[in-house]
Structure 1
Amino acid sequence: MSSVELPLKGVTVVDVSHLAAGPWCTMVLADLGADVIKIERPDVGDMSRQAGGVYAGEESAVFLSFNRNKRSVALDLKDPRGLEILHRLVERADVFVENLRAGKTKQLGIDYATLSALRPDLVYASISAFGDDGPYVDLPGNDPIIQALSGAMDLTGEHDGPPARQGVSVPDFGAGMMAAFSIVAALFGRQTTGSGRKLDLNLLDVEIFALGPRAQEHLITGEDQPRLGSAHPQFAPYQAFRCRDDRYLYIAAINEKFWHLLCKALETPELAQDQRYATNPDRCRNRKALVATLEEVLADRDRDDWLELLGEHGVPCGAVNSLTEAMRDPQVLHNELLQQVAHPGLGEFTTVALPLHINGLRAPIRSAPPRLGEHTDEVLAEFGIEVSRS
């Protein structure tokens, strides 16, 4: 099979980020071919090595999630020799990524002014919770706090229930992806200008940006939106329904065409003729009555029976999969999204690959998440840095 020509091959990234958003960003860069040199504390390494409660052997699932294709170098940046080594690495790097607390980079001597003096065309990406200044700059911030402050948590949950955290770390993922995109854009721009850039992203901005239409609707109306569980505020029926076997089916009848196809599939012509449901705005206004009727109809068959029937009629629908079902879904398996990775301590483990094909080929997972300091000697030798051993 032909090998994949990775677009970021030859790009060197020095990464002092930890936990989620920063490592997510640099894993994407590494997956696309960049040489990501992950700088970790010699004692405990990246905090995600000890995060969460699920481990494969001694490896945290959190750390395994977004640290593949990187090389780990153990450096104490509070030690003058460790800082000197980092500066030597930056002199030959293209990108620097950090997500430390405000003021920490200057305190350590790895702020943009210091590093850009060493490498004027450096692309320096800083990811924070709230930004470089402002009323929250000194406060700790993480995924659920950002979801809460952004309004996303208030939108999530059942109508008669409390706000709920989204089940995945959208702020961390979003900030990581936005940072990776911005870095690639800055590298592209550098080809023309020859200049580096400082890129600042924060999780709060990214999460509000990710609200998309919900934010714009509020800015137009000035109104808060109620929690609707799995339903959509602007379309109906557009939500999950429980079937006879207590499994859930999601129906997304986004327009009149699909509404009438749904009524045909359900053999409910009376709904198609009911003026309360004639248009999507009508169905939204009369959502409670509509949903009650559809719940009663859909409770007559098992989920997979409905999936087959609705699919035959061209109704947009899908199973509400558990994680077990999602990881075994025939389309997911066909896409070969789940990849086996050889790990020196674990043998082989399964992980989720980059959701991208390049010229028809998936970007390969070239190496497992590194052990702490695994590549220190290798990297320093490549950079011509001698380390005295006492």
Structure 2
Amino acid sequence: MPGAPLRGLRIVAVEQFGAGPFGTLQLADLGAEIIRLEDPSTGGDVGRYVSPGRQGTDSLYFDSFNRGKRSLLLDLKAPAGQEVLHRLIRDADAVYANLRGDVIRDLGLTYDVLGAINPAIVCVSLTAYGRDGERHNEAGYDPLIQAEAGWAALTGDPGGRPVKSGLSLADYTGGLMAALALLAAVLDARRTGHGRDVGVNLYDVALAMHNYRATWYLTAGVPGERTADASHPSIVPFQFFATSDGHIAVACAKEKFFGALVELMDLPSVAADPRFASFEARRQNRTALVAILSEEFPRRPTADWIRLLRGRVPVAPVRSMEAALDATELAHRAMLAAYRHPTLGEVTTVGLPIKMDGFTPVYRPAPSLDGDREVVLAAAGYGAVEIDDLRNRGAFGHG
């Protein structure tokens, strides 16, 4: 992969399902070598068995998170499996563990163990609630995090039920934060020669995503409240409106945008109304302003409003997932990833959202279960006799 910015970065990943794999997916697309260690006692990553689009131990779900990586079945509970892990660590930059905190310690995926083998190794743990503390042994999944961290209580219309995001955003942001932490620690380790433990957990990341709303509450006591139509808590208008045939998103984040909006919508009385003359005035008179705009937008279809407003007012149509994933549009944006999988056939998906001069990602299928054993072990210096011995001692499971 000429020009790949992360070429030469080697990561041993003990990851599963969505959060961890989403983080290393970005690193793999950028050229890092990701060696997945999969548990033979469970048949590998549970994501391999998620339908639709499953064929044996391969699935479109698994492929979406793991393209371009390697797979090695390895029983880390067996002494022989630990031997292989320690051999791999010698030439790795990081170990990336997406497990419960107690499991990470039990499997020896921490710096106090692995640093004795490779002092520069970075040991990243991505857990639900932390490596330590009273909840270190709890499993956590995206809906649990969104619920407990206050996201669901902020999502949806006032008076309605708590609502989870349509995407697994707690998982994805957790994985991205873990990948960022890994790169920061590896950069430091290459400078100093010393690695470290790095802890990221989904719950803390979800809390951090509250950002300015957390500042408002913790500093000024401003409570978190739902607002209608996905509106911003203070900027008005900054929300969805119904049109004659759908919905439109409007975001007047600057004074000039609001001025252009009322001009183009031919609302001179609104432009002259002191109740709407500033950010603060519009916030205090949100109900009145939104009522006026809610009467105007249904007079035209969404496409007409987009043609009228786009370029002077930040607007976007509310589209279905299918419309957003139009293949022609994705290709135009260099966001289309397509490749042939040996069992799943032609796979088309979204690609890396990072554009770098001189670099174009090369997309490859996710690995078959244990499909890279020979390559990975040979690169680690194992010969055929040693591999047979490891097999006999249960390094790769007993199946």
Normalized against structure 1, the TM-score is what?
0.93
| Distance in structure 1 (CA, Å) of the matches to 2:378 and 2:25 | 23
Equivalent in the alignment of 1:344:
342
Paired amino acid for 1:240: F
User: CA, structure 1 residues 333+264, in 2 after alignment: closer, same or farther (shift >3 Å)?
Assistant: farther
State the one-letter code of the partner of 2:369: L
Match of 1:212 in 2: 211
1:238·1:253 contact (CA, 8 Å) conserved in 2?
Answer: yes
TM-aligned CA deviation for residue 304 of structure 1: 0.4
Structure 1 residue 136, shift from structure 2 partner: 2.4
Superposition pairs for residues 25-44 of structure 1, below 5 Å?
25-42=23-40, 43-44=42-43
CA, structure 1 residues 299+282, in 2 after alignment: closer, same or farther (shift >3 Å)? same
After TM superposition, list the pairs within 5 Å mapping 1:1-390 onto structure 2.
Answer: 4-42=2-40, 43-51=42-50, 53-58=51-56, 59-228=58-227, 229-245=229-245, 247-311=246-310, 314-328=312-326, 332-359=330-357, 361-365=359-363, 367-385=364-382, 386-388=386-388
Secondary structure of the residue that 1:362 maps to in structure 2?
coil
Cα pair 2:244 2:298 within 8 Å, conserved: yes
Q: CA deviation at 1:108?
A: 2.6
Matched length: 384
Shift of 1:37: 0.7
- Partner Cα separation in structure 2 for residue 56 and residue 324 of structure 1: 21
Q: Quick one: percent identity of the two aligned structures? A: 39
Given that 1:13 and 1:35 are in contact with CA atoms closer than 8 Å, whether structure 2 keeps it comes out as yes
| Alpha-carbon distance between aligned partners in 1 of 2:115 and 2:243, rounded to the nearest angstrom | 60
Q: Is the 8 A contact 2:71 2:368 kept in 1?
A: yes
Which has the higher mean CA deviation after the structures are superposed, 62-71 or 356-365? 356-365
- Cα drift, residue 210 of structure 1: 1.5
Going from structure 1 to structure 2, the CA distance change for 1:329 and 1:259 (only over 3 Å counts) comes to: farther
Q: Do 1:341 and 1:351's aligned partners in 2 also have CA atoms closer than 8 Å? A: no
CA-to-partner distance for each residue in 1:217-257, whole Å, 9 max, x for gaps? Answer: 11222132211141000101110111101x11101112321
Distance 2:235 2:69 in 1: 44
Q: Report which structure shows greater RCO (CA 8 Å, sep ≥6).
A: 2
Shift in alpha-carbon separation, 1:203–1:36, aligned structure 2, 3 A: same
Post-superposition offset of 1:350: 0.7
Separation in structure 1 between the aligned mates of residue 279 and residue 331 of structure 2, nearest angstrom: 36
Report Cα offsets for 1:352-390 as digits up to 9, x if no partner: 21111221543221x211111111122112212231166
Cα distance in 1 between the residues matched to 2:48 and 2:94: 24
Local SS of the residue matching 2:146:
helix
Once residues 212 and 182 of structure 1 are traced to their aligned partners in structure 2, the CA distance between those partners, rounded to angstroms, is 19
Distance 1:329 1:375 in 2: 32
Is the 8 Å Cα contact of residues 4 and 358 (structure 1) preserved in structure 2?
A: no
Shift in CA distance, 187/168, structure 1 to aligned 2, threshold 3 Å: same
RMSD: 1.8
Contact 2:327 2:336 in 1 (8 A): no
Alignment-mate amino acid for residue 235 of structure 1: I
Counterpart code for 1:381:
A
Q: Distance in 1 between matches of 2:226 and 2:313?
A: 25
Report the CA distance between 1:199 and its aligned residue: 0.6
| In 2: Cα distance, 1:204 partner to 1:298 partner | 39
- C-alpha distance in structure 2 between counterparts of 1:148 and 1:221, whole Å: 24
Runs of 4+ in 1 over 4 A off after TM superposition: none
Is this contact kept in 2: 1:154–1:163, CA < 8 A? Answer: yes
How far does the alpha carbon of each residue in 1:39-73 deviate from its partner, in whole angstroms, 9 at most, with x for none? 1122510121124x432545434312210110101
Distance 2:219 2:76 in 1: 49
**Cα pair 2:119 2:195 within 8 Å, conserved:** yes
Q: Distance in 2 between matches of 1:172 and 1:330?
A: 29
**Tell me, what secondary structure is at the counterpart of 1:200?**
strand
Secondary structure, aligned partner of 2:72: strand
Tell me by how many angstroms 1:159 deviates: 1.3
Which ranges in structure 2 are unaligned for 5 or more consecutive residues? 393-399
The question of whether the paired residues in 2 share the 8 Å contact of 1:356 and 1:363 is answered with no
Contact 1:18 1:46 in 2 (8 A): yes
CA deviation profile, 1:199-226 (whole Å, cap 9, x unmatched): 1111111111122211111122213221
Partner AA of 2:351 in structure 1: A
Give the Å deviation of 1:74.
0.9
**Counterpart amino acid of 1:359?**
D
- Separation in structure 2 between the aligned mates of residue 332 and residue 283 of structure 1, nearest angstrom: 37
Rounded to whole Å, the distance in 2 between the matches of 1:30 and 1:230 is 35
What's the secondary structure of 1:204's corresponding residue?
helix
Letter in 1 for 2:72: V
Secondary structure of the residue that 2:257 maps to in structure 1?
A: helix
Once the 2 structures are TM-superposed, how far is the Cα of residue 331 of structure 1 from its aligned partner?
5.3
CA contact (8 A) 2:111 2:196 kept: no
Give 1:275's aligned amino acid: P
